[in-house]
Chains A and B, each alone.
Chain A
Amino acid sequence: MSKSSPRRSFGRKSIGTVTVIEAKVHRSSARNARMAFILTAVIIGVLAAVVAAAYVHPIIALFIGAAVSVPCGALAWLLVRIWPVLRLLWWWTPEIVLAVLLLTGWVQLATHTSTLVTLAVVAVVLGVPAAVPALRRQVVAWVWCLIVRHRLRVCFAQFIIANQSGSLPLILWATPTPVGERVWVYLRPGLSLADLEGRLDKIAVTCHASSVLVERASDGNAAYLRFDIKRREVLTATVTSPLADVIDPDAPATDRPTPVIPTALDLPDVQAPTITLPVQPKKQTATSANGSKPAPAPSSDADDLSDWL
């Protein structure tokens, strides 16, 4: 007992004051590539040797394994070394494909048609979307979809550091909405919806947007999120009901008996000692703009607090 109690207190103390120093270790690309080379070479070499041993002498099989493993390891090393470039190319794939298509089209057009025809085609291709508002808005919306994926990636790379290896979330599909864009994102380990909700203002700034909302896109997977980037406000628009269009405009108007038109519509017309219930004043002021009643008067905070009692 006497021996265990100091140990326990020591243990508790060490637990209470334990400080785990987790330096942000960004493994260098070179080291990653070396590890990839060794791992790939060993695994491929062993597998190749085992398979080869079924056909040839084990010692020769070892040599075959070594011969196969070195190029494979080298390939893995190369892939890891150029991975940042590959990743960059992948991020910009839509733009690269678009640029290649446009340039190819331009070159083909220029070589196969006369200058006038070329210019005419270019004028039509560029001019029609620019001139037709609906097309123009659609094109602009798609361009924003391309832009916003890069801007979101900038957010994650610059100020939402997820984990030690700095892996970025997968920015998936983006689609235009009436207010901006909607982007689906698959989070990597180290981030959560709550982390992002505290940084929406910064994300909005980075995306050149008015505000950003984030919510879960899937009930079954917390990593699958949906960003709503808002650039415009639609709630200020006037919304009409579709019910006004479904009715038959030729419907006969209902015959309404003319109601008794109240008189005494002004203050001097009403005598002071009217003791009737508020029915009568109600009818008289019905035509005035203000139909509110004094009942829900603004009240103090103390009153508000008592609402919850």
Chain B
Amino acid sequence: MATASAPTAGIPVGPGLSMFDPIFIGIDEFGQHVYITLAYRNLLAGGEPGGGKSGLLNTIAAHAALSVDSRLVLLDGKLVELGQWEDCADAFIGPDITAALDVLRRLQTVMNNRYAWLRAHGRRKVTALDGLSVITVLVDEIAFYSATIGSKQEQEEFVALLRDLVARGRAAGIPVIAATQRPSFDIIPTSLRDLFGYRAAFRCTTPNSSNIVLGHGWAEQGYTATDIAPTNQGAAYLIAEGGTPRRIKVAYLDDAQIAGIADYATWTRRPTRLSAPTGTRVDWETAA
């Protein structure tokens, strides 16, 4: 994080990606590439442990980290799933619900400010031409914050804040990508779960679990994540633009690739963060 280690040769050049671009997340069952646009969408990933959820999150995080108009807010109860992105993220929250609540409140303020800004301009949603950054909120293990850690009151506040982000953040350019193993009502309120437009169901053990992730009734139509082989990590059913679930295989980045991308993203991002004191998280409310 120290600025002293800034590169002496070469000017960092970003790859020119944008969060408004379609994001490559893998291949479908016909071998075709699958892209989803997340700038105005929220994604919920579910499935049993070791199914490949973090692979999906990391693929999205890699795109967001390399995008010029993006900021990353990472909440990871396990620390290691998204931990490698810490240096290019604007906020990285470990197993600390107080910090999680703080960052969600800040995001809420940003969202309110952006809506006020949009209203002042007579507009309805943020576009790529506005120059505003898309603040991608990645939450691994929602259940950890909403049902495990902290007091009941804190958990409820976490759910309420997250629901507000999911409900209203779309047009303000604050997409939420959340993962949990089984988003049943005792982990996440149904009112929050049903707000996620895009769903990715990794391997589930029962058709009911698959239905909880994908939505009621899909298992009865033959779209059940129980038919994914346990050994086939990263295979999932995805509901995105098409509206019906389709089988996909999520792209996988190994630790070295993630480290390389994270280093590169940190390198390209540092100039934009020079105004802020390094060593602490950048306060992006001013930027927003």
Q: Which of B4, B180, B257 contacts A296 (CB 8 A)?
A: B180
Given A237-B249, A283-B79, A307-B190, check contact A243 B66 (CB 8 Å): yes
Cβ of B276 under 8 Å from chain A = no
Interface size classification for chain A:
35 or more
For B185, give the chain A residue with the smallest CB separation: A307
A301 at the interface (CB under 8 A from B): yes
Contact A291:B30 (CB < 8 A) given known A238-B252, A255-B5, A296-B182? no
- Are A243 and B31 in contact (CB-based, < 8 A)? no
A94 at interface (Cβ–Cβ under 8 A)?
Answer: no
Pick the residue among A234, A235, A247, A295 that contacts B143 (CB under 8 A): A295
- Stretch of A17-25, A48-56, A124-132, A274-282 lying at the B interface: A274-282
Q: How far is the CA of A177 from the CA of B27 in the complex (A)?
A: 13
Whether the pair B78, A286 counts as a contact (CB closer than 8 A) is yes
Would A293 and B143 be within 8 Å (CB), given that A177-B31, A239-B26, A254-B266 are in contact?
yes
Give min CB distance, B197 to chain A, whole Å: 19
| Contact status B78-A179, CB under 8 Å | no
Neighbour of A241 across the interface among B181, B206, B251, CB < 8 A: B251
Please name all residues of chain A whose beta carbon is closer than 8 Å to the beta carbon of B209 when the two chains form the complex. 304
Q: Which residue of A lies closest to B144 (CB)?
A: A293
Contact of B263 with A253 in the complex, beta carbons under 8 Å: yes
Chain A residues, CB < 8 A from B257: 240-241, 244
Kindly list chain A residues whose C-beta atoms are within 8 Å of the C-beta of B248.
Answer: 235
Given contacts A283-B95, A292-B181, contact A248 B264 (CB under 8 A): yes
Contact of B247 among A182, A235, A253, A277 (CB under 8 A): A235
Residues 246-281 of chain A: 1 if any B CB is under 8 Å from the residue's CB, otherwise 0? 111111111111000000000000000000011100
Query: Could you count the A-B residue pairs with CB atoms below 8 Å apart for me: how many are there?
Result: 162
* Closest residue on chain A to residue B3 by CB atoms: A255
Kindly state whether residue B62 has any CB partner on chain A within 8 Å: yes
Q: Which residues of B contact A236 (CB under 8 A)?
A: 229, 232, 235, 249
A247 CA to B79 CA, complexed, in Å: 25
Chain A nearest Cβ from B265, distance in angstroms: 8
Which B residues are CB-close (under 8 A) to A234? 27, 29-31, 249
User: Could you tell me if B262 and A254 are in contact, using CB atoms closer than 8 angstroms?
Assistant: yes
Q: Assuming A236-B229, A283-B95, what are 13 further A-B pairs, CB within 8 angstroms?
A: A235-B247, A235-B249, A239-B249, A241-B251, A251-B12, A251-B260, A254-B266, A279-B149, A282-B78, A295-B144, A296-B181, A304-B208, A307-B190
